[in-house]
Chain A
């Protein structure tokens, strides 16, 4: 049973001091339902991804959108929460249980955090002083050591994504920056600086999923097929593996490629989890979209720009669009939908037919990563 995304919507990402998580989610959900053109009474189940939103956040959103009463599960998988919510809906439709499902993600992070996120103080490494920027700083040191990646090449990732964000009205950052701006920004965890790090963001995103059975009736012309939605957890590390490569991303991607019947060579563009400049490098190389060790140099030559050989994060990514944890994975699919429909305006990738979205969330002592998702959408 094929699954389609028939509606997509999101709020502008950024700082929303006058609104709360429920309010943001209501806006995104209503936009997705409007975009789908579906009578909301046909929605049979919902999944809500969030991390810090508190108990039964999803139900509060249903209560304000005329959807209360249907089954809903709140889903937490750190930065992969939203993508995991979509996957739950995808699986339920594939199982034949439902024909129309709502999946949304939301976070009001500016009221929860200032500065660096940590794995949590109960985590062994968090208690030793590990912050998320420190994790990626240490991986950057390894990529630089093993492959000769330069500081300037890493900065270009952020320059590219903030430039893409300036073409996206839903993005938190609306102004491009230069390599020099990145290198002169405040140091956070050497060698990473402020502009190498994604911002703290509020926002929400939502999609409506439909089965093959009803997609014709809802309008096939704007529907995008969700060809794979894969999820993996990080394995416990034995021995001394390289921190400049991500087996978790590789394993999740291989599962998704097999299920979708496509390979990395078929991907026209990708939205990847660029929580830090170095993170985009590790994702793209783990996904097999660029050869291991070569992405920073190729990106700096423009290969990953909109209009380049294989554009990465045309939406602006987490670095440019923002990173409201639970909303992030859903917003990536919103971008996939807009690109594949040809509705991405000035950041449109011409002729895009296969898009990939990658999220990776969480850190726990001893494991390579907590949760990783790869979703593939095709036209």
Chain B
């Protein structure tokens, strides 16, 4: 039984295909066009730049910098406010949206180094934890 299958028995990924677990650690999975090298998250079926149809999965870096952010004060009932949203630029040249945890909302800045963390974000209808990604201020430079 593969690691992914073993983990998925107890954890449900927030979006299948966008994250995987290896040795107890999570990784964001993007797509790279084998023709032109464009990287996406999430990956389309056809490359938007060169229309190539051969895209491969690519592990994305767990670290990046905050491109922009907001503190959401009013949202839909599923979300407890306030929470911080950030767009994070990763070294692969992709921008990923996520919630930022682990610091006061007022401390968030453009350019701030952050790292991706994997946490339970909800429960599925069977009561199993749904694991998704969040960002956290980077622990070291």
Complex interface: chain A residues within 8 A of B75 (CB): 115-116, 118, 129, 131, 134
Per-residue 0/1 for A340-379: is the Cβ within 8 Å of any B Cβ (1 yes, 0 no)? 0000000000000000000000000110000000000000
Chain A, Cβ-Cβ closest to B70: A137
Whether B89 sits at the interface, judged by CB under 8 Å, is yes
Whether A188 sits at the interface, judged by CB under 8 Å, is yes
Given A138-B87, A238-B40, A238-B48, CB of A189 within 8 Å of CB of B71: yes
Complex interface: chain A residues within 8 A of B69 (CB): 138, 141
A137 to B87, CA, bound (A): 12
Chain A, Cβ-Cβ closest to B36: A238
Q: Which of A42-50, A120-128, A318-326, A331-339 contacts B (4 or more CB under 8 A)?
A: A120-128
Distance between A87 CB and nearest chain B CB, rounded to angstroms? 24
Distance between A220 CB and nearest chain B CB, rounded to angstroms? 46
Q: Is the CB of B97 within 8 A of A188?
A: no
Distance between A241 CB and nearest chain B CB, rounded to angstroms? 8
Which of B15, B42, B48, B132 has the most chain A CB atoms closer than 10 A to its own CB? B48
Complex interface: chain B residues within 8 A of A184 (CB): none
- Chain A: interface residue count, which band? 35 or more
Given A138-B87, A236-B44, A236-B48, CB of A129 within 8 Å of CB of B72: yes
A116 to B77, CA, bound (A): 11
A192 to B75, CA, bound (A): 13
A131 to B69, CA, bound (A): 13
Whether A239 sits at the interface, judged by CB under 8 Å, is yes
Distance between A366 CB and nearest chain B CB, rounded to angstroms? 7
Tally of chain B residues near chain A (CB < 8 A): 34
Distance between A128 CB and nearest chain B CB, rounded to angstroms? 5
Q: Is the CB of B71 within 8 A of A190?
A: yes
Q: Is the CB of A238 within 8 A of B97?
A: no
Distance between B107 CB and nearest chain A CB, rounded to angstroms? 13
Chain B, Cβ-Cβ closest to A140: B70
Given A134-B70, A134-B85, A139-B68, CB of A125 within 8 Å of CB of B38: no
Whether A142 sits at the interface, judged by CB under 8 Å, is yes
A189 to B42, CA, bound (A): 25
Complex partner residue of B97 from A118, A121, A125, A186, CB under 8 angstroms = A125
Chain B, Cβ-Cβ closest to A137: B70
Chain B, Cβ-Cβ closest to A143: B68
Q: Is the CB of B76 within 8 A of A118?
A: yes
Q: Is the CB of A238 within 8 A of B49?
A: yes
Distance between B104 CB and nearest chain A CB, rounded to angstroms? 13
Q: Is the CB of A133 within 8 A of B74?
A: yes
Whether B73 sits at the interface, judged by CB under 8 Å, is yes
Per-residue 0/1 for B6-40: is the Cβ within 8 Å of any A Cβ (1 yes, 0 no)? 00000000110010000000000000000000101
A209 to B132, CA, bound (A): 50
Whether B67 sits at the interface, judged by CB under 8 Å, is yes
A121 to B74, CA, bound (A): 16
Whether A68 sits at the interface, judged by CB under 8 Å, is no
Q: Is the CB of B74 within 8 A of A188?
A: yes
Chain B, Cβ-Cβ closest to A236: B48
Given A124-B42, A366-B40, CB of A131 within 8 Å of CB of B71: no
Whether A240 sits at the interface, judged by CB under 8 Å, is yes
Q: Is the CB of B72 within 8 A of A141?
A: no
A366 to B44, CA, bound (A): 9
Whether B83 sits at the interface, judged by CB under 8 Å, is yes
Complex interface: chain B residues within 8 A of A237 (CB): 95
Given A141-B68, A141-B110, CB of A131 within 8 Å of CB of B76: yes
A237 to B38, CA, bound (A): 10
Per-residue 0/1 for A88-131: is the Cβ within 8 Å of any B Cβ (1 yes, 0 no)? 00000000000000000000000000011010010011011111
Taking A130-B97, A131-B75, A190-B73 as known contacts, 7 extra A-B pairs with beta carbons closer than 8 A to each other, sorted by chain A number, are: A130-B85, A131-B76, A142-B110, A145-B110, A191-B70, A243-B87, A366-B40
Closest 5 CB pairs of A and B: A236-B48, A137-B70, A190-B71, A138-B68, A187-B73
Q: List 20 A-B contacts (CB under 8 A).
A: A115-B76, A118-B75, A125-B97, A128-B97, A128-B98, A129-B72, A129-B79, A129-B83, A129-B99, A130-B85, A134-B72, A134-B75, A138-B87, A141-B69, A142-B110, A189-B73, A192-B70, A237-B95, A240-B94, A365-B42
